[in-house]
């Protein structure tokens, strides 16, 4: 792309730079934020003070949010 000249250079180089930037940002997010969020959602549950299981797990809460979003977009 960077070997182009003339009008083609002015049209395609900014597009190529935008694609490269988007791919780099996606790579960085997939290596940092996504595993962190997955670990947060999938980690074990803690018992409540009286030793019983919590009323609603994180997964249950996450599913409720997804169902609500699904209802809102339909």
Q: What is the pLDDT of residues 6-48, one digit of tens each?
A: 888 888 888 999 999 999 999 999 999 888 888 877 776 566 6
Other CB atoms within 10 A of residue 44 CB: 6
State residue 50's pLDDT score.
Answer: 62
Mean pLDDT of all residues in 45-66: 68
Question: pTM for the whole thing?
Answer: 0.51
**Cβ(63)–Cβ(54) under 8 Å?**
no
State residue 24's pLDDT score.
Answer: 97
pLDDT confidence of 54, banded at 50, 70, 90?
low
């Amino acid at each position: 792309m960077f070997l182009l000249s003339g009008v083609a250079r002015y049209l395609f180089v900014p597009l190529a730079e935008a694609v490269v930037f988007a791919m780099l940002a996606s790579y960085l997010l997939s290596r940092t934020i996504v595993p962190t969020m997955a670990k947060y959602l999938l980690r074990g549950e803690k018992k409540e003070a009286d030793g019983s299981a919590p009323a609603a797990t994180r997964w249950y809460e996450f599913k409720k949010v997804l169902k609500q979003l699904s209802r809102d977009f339909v």
